[in-house]
Amino acid sequence: MLKYFRGRSFGYVLRFVLAAPLALVFWLCIEIINIFRPIYIVGLSNKGRITQYMRPMELHLRNANQLNRKYKMIFVMPAPTPNEAVRTVYRRYSIIIDSHFPKIIRSAFGMVSVLLKHRFTPELTDLPHLWQAKPATTLTDDELKFGHRLRQSLGIPKDAQYVCLGLREAAYYKTITLQSGYGQDFSHQAEDSRNVDIANYMIVATHLANLGICVVRVGLVVSAPLPKERHKLIIDYATEARSELGDVVLGRGCKFTFCGASGHWIFSACSNISVIYGDCYEFGYHDDIRSQGSKHIWILRLLQSKQKSKLTPFSEMATGGQRWADDKVLASLGLEPVPNTPEEILNAVIEMNDWIDGKLELSDFDEELQTKFYNCYPPETRLEKNPLVRISPSFLRKYQDLL
């Protein structure tokens, strides 16, 4: 017990002692209810990030649905809810213990979720199967009407196709502090090399707009409004009309989402809508991207020596995995990331648009390159090649010497 409290603050220890009797009561109630109705307890991330909130809720609900049994799902969220509209949707299918509850209740449920994890938390072992399953939630008529009015107000013509564009931006990370309600301080990542320059994505936005497809720029906090001199079908929703419910309905109704190293893909993925993931900055973290059940394309940031004389092979990047997503680690190795070029992003979007429209044609050589890429992963992290998830074929052809 002393080892458990080592390094903890006095306030933490006091809160634990006060919440422990309440946790015991919750435990007994859960055990009794479980006799008549199966209980699932899922502890969510304490970082207050939308992907770490929606992803486990969606997949655990899908997993429970696959068992075809009545269940009671309890999600325990230590950090504040990142999107109240998402909470409203998922509360129709579960109990969510979050900042809407007194801290002592959250602390007690947090203990229960940790102590009973192996007993009441099913393992998510088959991600491709779960991502291909039917979405766990639906929207109400009022929410769908809100979405219709929002699209009208944004100037999206009736029955027109649109895509969502969401990027990882430094301005967002400046706001992620303990004082602003997040579970951790990530403000230092405002200087991170993983942040994306929106200028690299404006060429593809203009290309889609020229095809008559609206482009909706999304994001909780963005660095600056889009240039005023832009195509009329490129819509700056993030600065002009952003709302939490708007994020949900737009992500569920688009033709596809394309994002640069941001978490906005989760709004579409949880509704089985296609995603392009650009500027993907490491291998191991994106098992969800590689497991998708709808058409997905992704392209990676490459790594090069600081002398800019050599690009790192994919197999070395795969071995480095998530550890190499850290600028300090890369600097110690004499490496630096190479952002995706506007042309690479454009080619990936053209491929995705053609794929959805049934026009994408791939050669046997393209399939061979896809297989070689998957084989770059170490055996312990390797996934089966997913026919619905591709590295951009043009990207692999360009960098086939790194396979």
Predicted TM-score (pTM) of the model is 0.92
Per-residue pLDDT at 256: 98
Tokens representing residue 17 in the block: 């002692």
**Which residue numbers in the chain have pLDDT < 50?**
1, 3
For residue 1, how many other CB atoms are within 10 A of its CB? 4
Nearest to 319 by CA among 329, 310, 305, 309: 329
In order of 17, 71, 94, 103, 267, the CA distances from 76 in angstroms are 19, 16, 11, 12, 20
- What is the rounded distance in angstroms from the CA atom of residue 113 to the CA atom of residue 25? 13
Domain boundaries, the chain: 2-132, 141-402
Per-residue pLDDT at 191: 81
- What is the rounded distance in angstroms from the CA atom of residue 319 to the CA atom of residue 387? 23
Q: Which amino acid is at 323?
A: R
CA 355-270-195 angle, 5° bins: 80
- What is the rounded distance in angstroms from the CA atom of residue 399 to the CA atom of residue 347? 14
Q: Are 322 and 377 in contact (CB under 8 A)?
A: no
Half-sphere exposure in the Cβ direction for 13 (13 Å, CA):
10
- What is the rounded distance in angstroms from the CA atom of residue 46 to the CA atom of residue 53? 9
The label of the residue with tokens 């942040």 reads 195
Per-residue pLDDT at 93: 96
Nearest to 74 by CA among 37, 129, 48, 104: 37
Per-residue pLDDT at 57: 96
CATH of domain 141-402: 3.40.50.2000
